[in-house]
Amino acid sequence: MKEKPLYYAIRKMNYEQLDRFANQIRKYIYETVKKNTGHLSSNLGTVELTLALYRIFDPEKDIIIWDTSHQAYIHKLLTGRWHSFSTLRQRNGISGFTNIFESKYDYFGAGHAGTSIAAALGYELGYKKQNVDKNVIAIFGDGAMTSGMILESLNQLKSVDSKIKIILLNNEMSISPNVGALAKMLNKIRISNDYFSFKEKLKGSLESTDVGQDIETALKKLKDGIKHTVYNNTLGVFEDMGIKYYGPVDGHNIKELEKYLEFIKNYKDGPCILHLKTIKGKGMEFAEKNPTKFHGISNKKSTSISYSKIVGHTLKHIASKHNFIAYTAAMEEGTGLNVLKEKYPEKVIDLGITEPSIVTASGATRLSGIFTVVDIYSSFMQRAYDSIIHDIALQKIPVLFLLDRAGIVGEDGPTHHGVFDISYLRLIPNIDILTPLNAQDLANMIFTSLKKIWINQLL
């Protein structure tokens, strides 16, 4: 039976009712995820944004694209899937990601990070050719922003006269704390903004005294200094690319969000970006305190150790005697490399969601003379196909790739199944493919592969 979308109803609510509804949504998501597994902290962080978004924009007409889309549960709840949400991530149930076969409101399917701007741009260019004027909105997190696809697409917006609207969810986290220069810069804006609000509050209480006025002058100088360094460096990146910048805005204040969403709705001169400060896990203390642990909830009560943990422990064991680097693409926890990192932090390098770059870098690292391991989920490694062929196999560079989550992954569904790796790797010359039968086999294979690589002389 078709459900009526709820986004009409939220337009009639006052702010008190919206707050209550936001709480109800948080509880519903938590209860469902606890039962069915799924992404918790990322969704708790997008409740207010999604409510404000669907009061200002119209999911019926406006093209709204969620990056990765692990944070789109509220979007689903508001667009005709409130009741069916109880089947989240179950067989024949609601997908944990946007899915064009599931709903007309899911304008683009996702699961892998970084596709939102390219998809938004494609919609816009297509509609433009047909003389159709539409709002096209891409929403992505600061973690997704580390990916090549986002950066490639941002770079093209102005040159194709794009007018897409971007919403950046900045919670300082990927699954683990986010990495890279852009993440640092965005966080600087967050801090400067907190400073400005503090300063405004302080100003009121100081103005009445002479000493207060001296302090105020000093604060003004400090403020100008911060403004110069922070804003010149940060707004500059977007504005120099021709993207109008708004923010940073509290991503949990619906009234404030609506005001800024109106701004970007009415901005027609080119592409624009609204920068939101959000809190991963917002509204549930345990998740706010430990957003990485509650990024995804899995209810598998397995008594056996996971293959990922075996990888972590095996590499930790080898690390006591040998020097190597293990690369991860923002998946330290998922791949078990956190086990290695706890004891040997210098051996694990997280380069963000940059699978193709990591594979290329690993080849060069090996050429520099140090042994190299690359641990990436099988399905995300698809991104790096050309790098494997061009930068590793053709150049016969001995690198150990560990493809986590090979095979059927269960609840995450088709975007995450690691079912193509054997076929796509068998086409490439100079690669040995090993598939362990059990945990002992896996540990032996890692050890043997590294031994082979150690013995192997580079050409």
Catalytic residues: 280, 355, 383
Under rule CB under 6 A, residue 162 binds ligand TPP: no
CA-CA distance, 112 to 295, in Å (whole number)?
15
Number of Cβ within a 10 Å radius of residue 53: 23
71 in contact with ligand TPP (CB under 6 A): yes
Which residue stretch of 126-134, 173-181, 182-190, 243-251 sits at the interface with ligand TPP (rule: CB under 6 A)? 173-181
Residues 382 to 401: which contact ligand TPP by CB under 6 A?
383
Distance of alpha carbon 96 from alpha carbon 89, whole angstroms: 6
Cβ of 385: how many Cβ atoms within 10 Å? 17
Is 98 a residue that touches ligand TPP (CB under 6 A)?
no
Least CB distance to ligand TPP at residue 278 (A):
7
Closest by CA to 70, choosing from 180, 176, 174, 186, is 174
Q: Which residue is nearest to ligand TPP (CB)?
A: 143
**Cα-flanking dihedrals φ and ψ of residue 117, to 5°?**
-70, -40
* Burial 396-416, CB ≥16 within 10 A → b, else e: ebbbbbbbbbbeebebbbebb
Residue nearer to ligand TPP on the CB measure, 37 or 171: 171
Residue 380, interface with ligand TPP (CB under 6 A)? yes
Angle CA 150–152–157, to nearest 5: 90
Instruction: Characterize 157-167 residue by residue with b for buried, 16 or more Cβ atoms within 10 angstroms of its Cβ, and e for exposed.
Output: beeeebbbbbb
**Only segment of 68-76, 131-139, 282-290, 424-432 that touches ligand TPP (CB under 6 A):** 68-76
Question: Is residue 171 within the footprint of ligand TPP (CB under 6 A)?
Answer: yes
Residue from 75, 89, 280, 366 binding ligand TPP (CB under 6 A)? 280
Count interface residues toward ligand TPP (CB under 6 A).
24
Q: Is 45 exposed, middle or buried (0-12, 13-18, 19+ CB in 10 A)?
A: buried
CB of 41 to ligand TPP, least distance (A): 7
Using the CB atoms, write b or e for 316-348: b if 16+ within 10 Å: bebbeeeebbbbbbbbbbbbbbbbbbeebeebb
Binding flag, residue 89, ligand TPP (CB under 6 A)? no
Q: Does 42 bind ligand TPP (CB under 6 A)?
A: yes
Does residue 294 interact with ligand TPP by CB under 6 A? no
Nearer to ligand TPP, 141 or 283 (CB): 141
175 counts as binding ligand TPP under rule CB under 6 A: yes
- The residue among 409 and 442 lying less far from ligand TPP, judged by its C-beta, is 409
Report the interface residues with ligand TPP, using CB under 6 A.
42, 45, 68, 70-71, 112-113, 140-144, 169, 171, 173-175, 280, 329-331, 353, 380, 383
